[in-house]
């Protein structure tokens, strides 16, 4: 019994906390590699740089746990962002601009949700369609040009509160919100159940369509906020901005332990995944690694993360067979 | 399963309509009143509407074409896809356009199709960036080497001795990015061996990527004397990071394109110089060339437009230009 | 050396991390015999079969075919050595069609080397006709019931013409008529000299079909004898290591008011004019052949499917149940036939599976009350005797019987009045079955109403107060306890409705 217990403890430790151990190891290696890495300013920079992608990743995490995903998040971010910037230029109201961004994010995601629940479209296809439509709409609205001279709008992405950059605070708050939703609400448990086995969740009394819509709407709010932060940080309403960010978000989620087969994932894991990528990007620049090599390294990390995920799952299944056959 | 197939089709149809509708207002120049004057059909095949420079150029071409009553212009969107652009070239050949203007997505991919057009007896102009060495075709371009050189010449004089500089590159394998970097190498770095590059990364023309790199470079280097960027977007991104930092108050910054954002930064004294890649000038030259080719006045034209250097001394007239275009209020 | 012996297992051992699953296993299977292997869940039977079938590699010992040592590295090699296995946990691809699944991995090729679909169609149609199965070869597996799929699995193994066929609980999901067909085929194979290894829990079956019986317990062979030298009590005692009352004694329970009344429930293609009622404290059974429509009726009642006409009354109040949550709110719950598909969330913990249907009980006031959830799960698992390393263990690690008990616990948390149990003891060993029967008795004593759909007539006869019998979508008869007999039930199950 003791041998079995110790073995189980180590395995569960390994699976639950492995991502944080990797993060810690990376932190220490980076510290050794370049003295500038651990300065407060550098660490805050990294946190700011990953903030937009991580906020998108929180939305992805919820969706992937639920058995879905969102390929449209970067495009909707751009649409929400340019409309928000435009609103500010027209009205001078930061509040209104912020609300517009969130509304656009929510509306686009309601459409995503309807395609998935009412028309039974696979989320991959539905959000792929939205990805093209939202980007097209952003370009149409701005006629392909960037919106400059956005004045006070930069406060969201460049402002500081007690010396801490605003995007970091947004990210922290949204981390807490996502964690709370997943752990302390009926909605969160339902998301895990649907992702783990949709038919069983339905047969257990969960209103699958309602929960899926809600997941998309929450994603929409996160995407809208990300749009504000992005445009505000780069000081312009750029319809072509953030191209590829949906994959940044997926990467952080997957590295952080969110499983594509559904039913597994955490907000803090996703944050750790985002930081792993952020640390890597930062240290490679500080040390002066060749640009092309950087791209290879980034791709290798994703491959490793996915392979580890599958390996861990196979191990778990092998253990399962072992336990069943034994007493 | 069939239901979503229908939806996907409807949705892609809508998407195509939206993208198609995103073309700017005057799509076609008005056809002239019935006269004996021959009207020439000109096809302008843009590489993408999504790229802000390409959009600017397309708008400018349409506006310029309106001035010619013997030219009927139609714009086509290559949607940043080689396949799409190549099909559009073939369609234009089939529909017997008199002149085809091609803004390639990828020069080598469009080369065989341009050759086909020439073989079919159609006048072809390639632009931004030209496809060289196609006998029988014409071209109008801005020379990216020159665009960088005018800035590099200034930098040779301005950059202090033993300076630390950072370099921001465009997408790998991109003709303009490579040519500009090559120019900086030959016209600046080779002439100023005392200058040290403390950071060089690929920021893909993007402002946010440039910002991220600059933030990190600032952590590692107390002294950075100049930002050398292959386009204005990236220069602006780097400047955004240090705009309130007194340590870098006197930093020099060089870009290319002459965007509205850049001219404003030059006026504010934050950016040192840029060179204009004027879509208006390109458009004027393209239409002029098209007209000359169509009427038979010339057989083949290969030309470059100017790339004027913009600095604090002459920035005002370019601010006016952008104001007139509505990019600056 | 014995020319009679087809397959010999010699000193085979197999361990997994922390557990010795097989400990010096020795036994032999003769040609042309049916060799039954029985034992409780976890005794090692499935592990040994997986070793023989090439899914696992033994740590020590040998497998001999025709008294020659063989190396079995994977199932394909096993198949080429003449070994074929039909699994208990059906692995199937829902999108595959019948004809595809029959020939998967074994495609007949035409003269160009391409898959010969004409030949496949021909052979499939032949096979289906011979077995009297009325299916379109293009039907997708997801549209078949569990019992259909198992039938096909058996057909596939037979079509490979293997000399050693292993059947792991083959009758767990098929009704009596199909069992007869299967047994007939097994006798045929036996005549031909095939060695058949048959794993089963069903005592009456074992004694019918076996030539020899081997009993497993805790990873070892307890004993191996010809059937004639065994009796039921001895087998069970050897299996569980203790004397066990095989026949479950049902107690008399006073019945209360009618709690559920169903009138003329109809859904065109599936069932017609279903009318029945259930009293508090009553256990009623639903018997019938495969395809009779019992599961369809229950799914409609529970809100998983729609129905076109009819009335449902709970506690004398008319109700319209449109989805599962409606049914739960009306205190009626259902344990599905296919627990892997409809019962469990495999990657989540035992605890989370227990609280799944009544989350509001543990998540309120803006937060999760983890201690309450833990306590509830712990209490129920203790009461139901769920064997699990911890509440945090993922439920897919548990055996079938324990999973079933967790699912039952889940429903208990919703405090139901009416429980529909669809094949509750399928794929579960004797010991666990008894626990489920005990639980059913306890529920009835608490004045709950239990509806049991089952294909095991002995079980129905043992547990129920009344049995409704369905055939071809209609109720053909109802028997009270004093009228119970297998013949009468079968008569109704094969009849067409006269009135």
Q: Which domains does chain A have, with CATH numbers?
A: 51-242 (1.10.3470.10)
B207 contacts on A by Cβ (under 8 Å): 234, 236, 238, 241
Strand C418-422 to strand C449-453: parallel, antiparallel, or no bridges (unpaired)? parallel
Q: Give tens-digit pLDDT for A207-234.
A: 999 999 999 999 999 999 999 999 999 9
Tokens of A150: 């956005």
- Picking from A315, A66, A323, the residue whose alpha carbon sits closest to that of residue A198 is A66
Q: What is the pLDDT of residue C431?
A: 78
Which residues in chain C are closer than 8 Å to A327, comparing Cβ atoms? 19, 42, 218-219
Residues 6+ apart with CB under 8 A from A290: none
User: Which of C179, C205, C240 lies at the terminal end of a domain, its last residue?
Assistant: C240
Helix (H, G, I), strand (E, B), or coil: what is residue C318?
strand
CA distance A245 to B45: 29
Q: What is the CATH number of the domain that holds C470?
A: 3.40.50.300
Whose CA is closest to A121, among B130, C98, B181, B12? B12
Q: Under an 8 A CB cutoff, do B327 and A148 touch?
A: yes
CA distance B169 to A170: 31
Please give the Cα distance from C112 to C341 (Å, whole number): 41
- Interchain proximity B7–A292, CB inside 8 Å: no
C342 touches A at CB < 8 Å: yes
What string of DSSP letters covers B82-97? HHHHHHHHHHHHHTT-
C92: nearest Cα among C369, C340, C304, C400? C340
Tell whether A241 is within 8 A of chain B (Cβ). Answer: yes
The answer to which of A195-204, B215-224, B241-250, C122-131 has the lowest mean pLDDT is C122-131
pLDDT score of B34? 45
CB C8 within 8 A of CB C35: no
Residues B328, A291: C-beta atoms closer than 8 Å:
no
CA dist., res. C22 & res. C235, Å (int) = 20
Does the pLDDT at position A277 exceed 60? Answer: yes
- Please enumerate in sequence order all residues whose Cβ is within 8 A of that of C79, keeping only pairs 6 or more positions apart, or say none: C160, C162
What interface predicted TM-score (ipTM) does this complex get? 0.89
Q: Does A303 touch chain C (CB under 8 A)?
A: no
Residues C310 and C444 in one domain: yes
Among residues C182, C207, C240, the one where a domain terminates is C240
**Cβ atoms A66, A194 nearer than 8 A:** yes
Q: Catalogue the E-assigned strands of C33-170.
A: 34-38, 60-65, 68-70, 83-86, 164-168
In this predicted structure, the answer to whether residue B276 has a pLDDT above a threshold of 70 is: yes
C279 and C216 co-located in one domain: no
Nearest to B238 by CA among B259, B258, B212, B256: B212
Q: Are residues C225 and C269 in the same domain?
A: no
Q: What is the per-residue pLDDT across B144-203, written as a single tens digit (0 to 9) for each? A: 899 999 999 999 999 999 999 999 999 887 888 999 999 999 999 999 999 999 999 999
Of A196-200, B122-126, C10-14, C137-141, where does mean pLDDT reach its minimum?
Answer: C137-141
Q: Rg of chain C's alpha carbons, rounded to an integer?
A: 24
Q: Which C residues, 185 through 204, put their C-beta within 8 Å of a C-beta on chain A?
A: none
- The answer to whether the Cα torsion of B131, B133, B139, B141 is positive or negative is positive
Does residue C418 lie in a domain region? Answer: yes
Sheet holding C83-86, edge to edge: C83-86, C164-168, C195-199, C34-38, C212-217, C220-226
Report CB contact under 8 Å: B211, A233: yes
Domain annotation for chain B: domains and CATH numbers? 26-136 (3.40.50.2300), 145-275 (3.40.50.2300)
> Rounded to an integer, what distance in angstroms lies between the CA atom of residue A87 and that of residue A102?
12
Mean pLDDT of A151-170: 94
Angle in degrees, 0-180, between the axes of helices A2-33 and A267-287, rounded to the nearest 10: 40
Which chain A residues are Cβ-neighbours of B327 within 8 angstroms? 145, 148
Query: Are C310 and C216 members of one domain?
Result: no
Residues 6+ apart with CB under 8 A from C278: C258, C259, C260, C284, C418, C449, C450, C451
Nearest-Cα residue of chain B relative to residue A140: B22
**Residue C81 lies inside a defined structural domain of this protein:** yes
pLDDT value of position A321: 44
Angle at A16 between CA C363 and CA A169, to 5 degrees: 70
pLDDT at A180 over 90: yes
Mean of pLDDT values over A265-274: 95
Structural element, H or E, at residue B307: none
Cα distances (angstroms) measured from residue C291 to each of C132, C134, C184: 14, 11, 21
* Chains interfacing with A (3 or more CB pairs < 8 Å): B, C
Q: Provide the pLDDT for residue C44.
A: 79
Beta carbons of C266 and C307 less than 8 angstroms apart: yes
Q: What is the pTM of this model?
A: 0.77
* Rounded Cα distance, B218 and A46, in Å: 13
Q: Which residues of B touch A33 (CB under 8 A)?
A: none
Interface B:A, ≥3 CB–CB pairs < 8 Å: yes
Residue A48: list chain B partners with CB under 8 A.
215
Is the CB of residue B207 less than 8 Å away from at least one CB of chain A?
yes
Asked whether the beta carbons of A85 and A147 are under 8 A apart, the reply is yes
Range of the domain at C478: 258-494
Residue A136 — pLDDT band, cuts 50, 70, 90?
A: very high
Residue C252 covered by a domain = no
In terms of CA atoms, which chain C residue is nearest residue A187? C359
Among residues C240, C275, C306, the one where a domain terminates is: C240
Residue ranges in chain C whose pLDDT is less than 50: 243-244, 497-499
Q: What angle do CA C264, C269, C270 make, to 5 degrees?
A: 60
Answer whether A320 sits within 8 Å of C328, measured CB to CB: no
Same structural domain, C204 and C275: no
The CA dihedral of A207, A209, A210, A216, to the nearest 10 degrees, is 140
Same domain, C324 and C459: yes
Residue A184 has pLDDT above 70, yes or no: yes
3-state SS record for C263-323: EEEEECCCEEEEEEEEECCCEEEEEECCCCCHHHHHHHHHCCCCCCEEEEEECCEEECCCC
DSSP string for B32-47 = PPS-SS--EEEEEEES
Check whether residue C23 and residue C159 sit in a common domain. yes
Residue B222, burial from CB neighbour count under 10 angstroms (0-12, 13-18, 19+): exposed
Give the nearest chain A residue to B206 (CA atoms): A241
Phi and psi torsions of B226, nearest 5°: -150, 145
Helix axes A123-142, A94-117, angle to 10 degrees: 140
Helix A186-196 to helix A166-184 angle, to the nearest 10 degrees? 70
Kindly state the percentage of chain B with pLDDT values over 90. 62
Residues C236 and C298 occupy one common structural domain = no
CA C288 to each of CA B23, C174, C423, C456: distance values in angstroms, whole numbers, following the listed order: 68, 11, 12, 10
Please name which of B56, B55, B18, B175 lies closest in space to residue B110, comparing C-alpha atoms: B175
Query: How many Å apart are CA A142 and CA B207, to the nearest integer?
Result: 18
Tell me which residue of C147, C189, C230 sits closest to C426, measured CA to CA. Answer: C147
Residue C245 placed within a domain: no
User: Looking at the domain assignment, is residue C249 inside a domain?
Assistant: no
Asked if residue A272 lies in contact with residue A26, where contact means CB atoms within 8 angstroms, the answer is no
**What is the rounded distance in angstroms from the CA atom of residue A94 to the CA atom of residue A154?**
10
Residue recorded with tokens 């939703």: A181
What is the distance between the alpha carbons of residues C99 and C123, in angstroms, rounded to a whole number? 9
Tell me if C139 sits within 8 A of C100, measured CB to CB.
Answer: no
What does the pLDDT read at residue C91? 63
Q: Which of B103, A211, A327, A215 is nearest to C429 (CA)?
A: A327
Instruction: Give the separation between CA B118 and CA C192, rounded to whole angstroms.
Output: 79
C-alpha distances in Å from residue B107, one per residue of B49, B85, B300:
17, 11, 19
Q: Could you tell me if C362 and C231 lie in one domain? A: no
The residue-averaged pLDDT of A306-314 equals 72
The candidate with the shortest Cα–Cα distance to B324, out of B59, B50, B49, B52, is: B59
Sign of CA dihedral B111, B114, B118, B120: positive
Cβ–Cβ gap C347/A196 under 8 Å: yes
C113 inside 8 A of chain A by CB = no
Residue A51 to residue A172: CA distance in whole angstroms: 9
Residues in chain A: 327
**Is the pLDDT reported for residue B1 higher than 60?**
no
What pLDDT was estimated at residue A7? 59
Check CB contact of B21 with chain A, cutoff 8 Å: yes
Q: Does C3 touch chain A (CB under 8 A)?
A: no
Would C263 be classed as within a structural domain? yes
Same domain? For C286 and C224 the reply is: no
**How many angstroms separate the CA atoms of C146 and C175, rounded?**
11
Across the interface, of C21, C346, C363, the residue whose CB is closest to A189 is C363
Question: CA-to-CA distance for C278 and C363, rounded, in angstroms?
Answer: 34
Beta-carbon contacts of residue B317 (< 8 Å; ≥ 6 apart):
none
pLDDT value, residue B176 = 87
pLDDT at C496: 55
CA distance linking residue C74 with residue A65, whole number of Å: 34
How many structural domains compose chain C? Answer: 2
Residues facing B201 on adjacent strands: B168
* Averaged confidence pLDDT in chain A: 89
Q: Give the side-chain half-sphere CA count within 13 A for C113.
A: 0
Asked if residue C307 and residue C215 are part of one domain, the reply reads: no
Helices B2-21 and A94-117: crossing angle, nearest 10°? 140
Residue of chain B whose alpha carbon sits nearest to that of A45: B215
pLDDT for residue B19:
46
On whether residue C171 sits in a domain, the answer given is yes
Chain A residues touching residue B22 (CB < 8 angstroms): 136, 139-140, 143-144
Instruction: Considering only the beta carbons, identify the residue of A42, A149, A288 that sits closest to B219.
Output: A42
Cβ–Cβ under 8 Å, residues C248 and C437: yes
A85: left (phi over 0), alpha (psi -120 to 50) or beta: alpha
Which of A8, A12, A326 minimises the CB distance to C21?
A326
- Pair (C411, C340) in one structural domain: yes
Minimal C-alpha gap between B30 and chain A (Å): 22
Q: Which of C347, C388, C432 to mutate to test the interface with A (most CBs of A within 10 A)?
A: C347
Q: Name the helix (H) or strand (E) containing A75.
A: helix A73-91
* Chains C and B, touching by 3 or more CB pairs within 8 angstroms: no
């Amino acid at each position: 019994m003791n041998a079995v217990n110790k073995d189980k403890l180590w395995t569960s430790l390994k699976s639950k906390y492995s991502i944080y151990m990797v993060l810690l190891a990376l932190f220490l290696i980076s510290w050794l590699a370049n003295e500038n890495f651990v300065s407060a300013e550098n660490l805050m920079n990294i946190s700011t740089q990953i903030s937009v992608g991580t906020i998108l990743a929180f939305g992805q995490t919820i969706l992937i746990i639920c058995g879905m995903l969102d390929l449209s998040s970067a495009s909707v971010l751009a649409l929400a962002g340019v409309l928000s910037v435009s609103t500010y230029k027209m009205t001078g109201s930061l509040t209104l601009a912020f609300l517009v961004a969130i509304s656009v994010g929510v509306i686009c995601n309601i459409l995503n949700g309807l395609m998935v629940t009412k028309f039974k479209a696979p989320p991959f296809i539905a959000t792929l369609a939205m990805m093209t439509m939202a980007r097209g709409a952003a370009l149409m609205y701005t006629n392909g040009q960037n919106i400059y001279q956005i004045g006070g709008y930069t406060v969201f992405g460049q402002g500081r509160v007690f010396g801490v950059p605003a995007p970091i605070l947004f990210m922290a708050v949204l981390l807490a919100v996502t964690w709370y939703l997943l752990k302390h609400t009926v909605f969160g448990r339902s998301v895990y159940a649907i992702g783990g086995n949709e038919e069983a969740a339905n047969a257990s009394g969960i209103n699958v369509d309602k929960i899926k819509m809600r997941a998309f709407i929450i994603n929409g709010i996160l995407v809208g906020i990300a749009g504000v932060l992005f445009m505000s940080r780069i000081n312009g309403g750029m319809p072509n901005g953030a191209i590829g960010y949906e994959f940044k978000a997926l990467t952080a989620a997957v590295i952080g332990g969110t499983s594509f087969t559904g039913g597994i994932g955490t907000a803090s894991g996703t944050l750790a995944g985002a930081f792993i990528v952020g640390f890597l990007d930062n240290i490679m620049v500080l040390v002066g690694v060749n640009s092309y090599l950087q791209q290879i390294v980034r791709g290798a990390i994703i491959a490793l993360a996915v392979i580890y995920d599958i390996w861990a799952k196979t191990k778990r299944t092998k253990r399962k067979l072992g336990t069943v056959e034994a007493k | 399963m069939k239901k979503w197939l229908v939806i996907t089709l409807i949705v892609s149809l809508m998407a195509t309509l939206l993208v198609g509708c995103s073309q700017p207002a005057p799509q076609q120049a008005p056809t002239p009143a019935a006269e004996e004057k021959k009207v020439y059909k000109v096809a302008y095949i843009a590489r993408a509407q999504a790229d802000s420079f390409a959009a600017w150029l397309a708008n400018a071409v349409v506006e310029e074409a309106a001035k010619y009553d013997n030219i009927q212009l139609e714009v086509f969107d290559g949607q940043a896809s080689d396949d799409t652009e190549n099909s559009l070239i073939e369609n234009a050949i089939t529909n017997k356009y008199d002149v085809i203007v091609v803004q390639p997505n990828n020069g080598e991919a469009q080369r065989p199709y341009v050759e086909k057009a020439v073989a079919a007896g159609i006048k072809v102009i390639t632009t931004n960036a030209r496809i060289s060495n196609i006998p029988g075709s014409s071209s109008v371009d801005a020379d990216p080497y020159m665009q960088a050189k005018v800035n590099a010449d200034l930098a040779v004089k301005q950059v202090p001795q033993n300076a630390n500089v950072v370099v921001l590159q465009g997408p790998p394998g991109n003709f303009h990015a490579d040519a500009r970097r090559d120019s900086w190498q030959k016209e600046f770095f080779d002439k100023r061996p005392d200058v040290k590059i403390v950071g060089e990364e690929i920021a893909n023309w993007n402002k946010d990527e440039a910002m991220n790199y600059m933030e990190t470079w600032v952590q590692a280097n107390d002294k950075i004397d100049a930002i050398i960027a292959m386009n204005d977007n990236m220069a602006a991104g780097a400047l955004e990071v240090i705009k309130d930092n007194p340590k870098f108050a006197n930093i020099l910054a060089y870009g290319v394109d002459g965007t509205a954002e850049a001219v404003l930064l030059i006026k504010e004294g934050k950016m040192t110089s840029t060179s204009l890649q004027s879509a208006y000038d390109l458009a004027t030259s393209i239409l002029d060339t098209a007209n000359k080719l169509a009427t038979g006045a010339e057989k083949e034209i290969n030309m470059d437009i100017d790339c004027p250097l913009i600095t604090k001394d002459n920035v005002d007239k370019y601010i006016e230009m952008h104001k007139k275009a509505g990019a600056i209020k | 050396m014995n020319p009679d012996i087809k397959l010999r297992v010699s000193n085979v051992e197999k361990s997994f991390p922390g557990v010795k699953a097989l400990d010096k296993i020795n036994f032999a299977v003769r040609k042309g015999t049916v060799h039954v292997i029985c034992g409780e869940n976890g005794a090692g039977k499935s592990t040994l079969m997986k070793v023989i079938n090439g899914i696992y590699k033994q740590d020590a010992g040998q497998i001999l075919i025709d008294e020659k040592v063989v190396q079995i590295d994977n199932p394909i090699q096993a198949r080429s050595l003449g070994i074929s296995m039909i699994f208990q946990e059906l692995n199937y691809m829902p999108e595959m069609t019948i004809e595809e699944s029959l020939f998967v991995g074994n495609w007949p090729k035409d003269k160009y080397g391409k898959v010969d679909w004409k030949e496949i169609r021909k052979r499939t149609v032949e096979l289906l006709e011979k077995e009297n199965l009325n299916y379109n070869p293009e039907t997708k597996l997801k549209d078949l019931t569990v019992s259909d799929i198992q039938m096909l699995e058996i057909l596939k193994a037979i079509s490979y013409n293997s000399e050693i066929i292993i059947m792991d609980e083959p009758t767990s999901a098929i009704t009596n008529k199909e069992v007869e067909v299967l047994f007939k085929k097994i006798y045929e194979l036996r005549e031909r000299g095939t060695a058949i290894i048959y794993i089963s829990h069903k005592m009456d079956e074992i004694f019918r079909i076996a030539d020899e019986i081997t009993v497993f317990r805790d990873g070892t062979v307890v004993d191996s004898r010809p059937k004639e030298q065994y009796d039921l009590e001895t087998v069970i005692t050897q299996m569980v290591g203790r004397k066990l009352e095989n026949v479950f004694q049902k107690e008399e329970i006073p019945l209360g008011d009618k709690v559920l009344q169903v009138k003329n429930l109809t859904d065109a293609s599936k069932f017609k004019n279903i009318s029945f009622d259930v009293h508090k404290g009553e256990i009623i059974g639903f018997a019938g052949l495969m395809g009779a429509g019992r599961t369809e009726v229950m799914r409609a009642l529970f809100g998983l499917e729609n129905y076109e006409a009819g009335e449902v009354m709970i506690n004398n109040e008319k109700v319209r149940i449109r989805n599962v949550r409606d049914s739960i709110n009306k205190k009626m719950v259902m344990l599905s036939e296919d627990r892997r598909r409809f019962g469990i969330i495999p990657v989540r913990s035992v605890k989370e599976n227990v609280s799944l249907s009544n989350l509001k009980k543990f998540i309120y006031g803006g937060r999760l009350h983890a201690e309450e959830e833990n306590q509830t799960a712990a209490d129920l698992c203790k009461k139901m005797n769920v064997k699990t390393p911890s509440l945090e263990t993922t439920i897919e690690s548990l055996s079938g019987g324990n999973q079933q008990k967790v699912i039952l616990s889940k429903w208990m948390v919703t405090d139901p009045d009416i429980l529909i149990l669809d094949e509750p003891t399928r794929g579960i060993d004797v010991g666990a079955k008894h626990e489920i029967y005990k639980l059913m008795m306890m529920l009835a004593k608490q004045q709950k109403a239990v509806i049991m759909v089952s294909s095991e007539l002995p079980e129905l006869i043992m547990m129920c107060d009344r049995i409704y019998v369905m055939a071809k979508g209609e109720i053909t008869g109802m028997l009270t306890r004093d009228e119970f007999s297998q013949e009468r039930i079968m008569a109704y199950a094969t009849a067409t409705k006269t009135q």
